[in-house]
Amino acid sequence: MPSGRTDCPVCRGVVGCKGGGNKQCRKRDPRSARIATILDTYGGARTIVGTLRSVRANTRQDELLHVVPNLIVHEPVAWNDIPIVIERARLELLKWLSTRPNLTEIEDLCVRLYHLRCLEHGGRGPRGTLNPFEGIVET
């Protein structure tokens, strides 16, 4: 059963979209998108692909935003490329954090907790945002 757009010359209705990297894709967004990583105050990191405006709209006041420099993509990202996008964002974040000596108090908290969460998961980065209510036990 076809799941993509049958009128797309790239996908032809087969399972999964080939992504906006192909200029002939019907789902391709003509606006350029950026890859960004957001560090929250619990040490979690999430990767977002979107326009600069949408990336900034997804960032809360107490979070640290890093946009991968010199890398422009087009949405939708192909399904097989998502792990590569996440890993590239993580590597660029680590490189960026090593060059930032002067951080505000909130930014420093985000970075320290992120590094602690990375240690928790064998250095590969946190798997998700920490939920503080999971670790609280009432007696």
What percentage of the chain has pLDDT greater than the value 70? 68
**Averaged confidence pLDDT in the chain:** 77
4 has a pLDDT exceeding 80: no
Separation CA 44–CA 115 (nearest Å): 10
Q: According to DSSP H, which parts of 58-131 are helical?
A: 82-98, 105-120
Q: Give CA–CA dist 45/63, Å, rounded.
A: 10
List, for residues 118-139, the tens digit of each pLDDT value. Answer: 777 666 666 555 555 555 555 4
Q: For 24-38, 43-57, 125-139, which range has the lowest pLDDT when averaged over its residues? A: 125-139
Separation between Cα atoms, residue 94 and residue 66, nearest integer Å: 10
Record the pTM.
0.72
pLDDT in tens, 85-109: 888 999 999 899 888 778 788 788 8
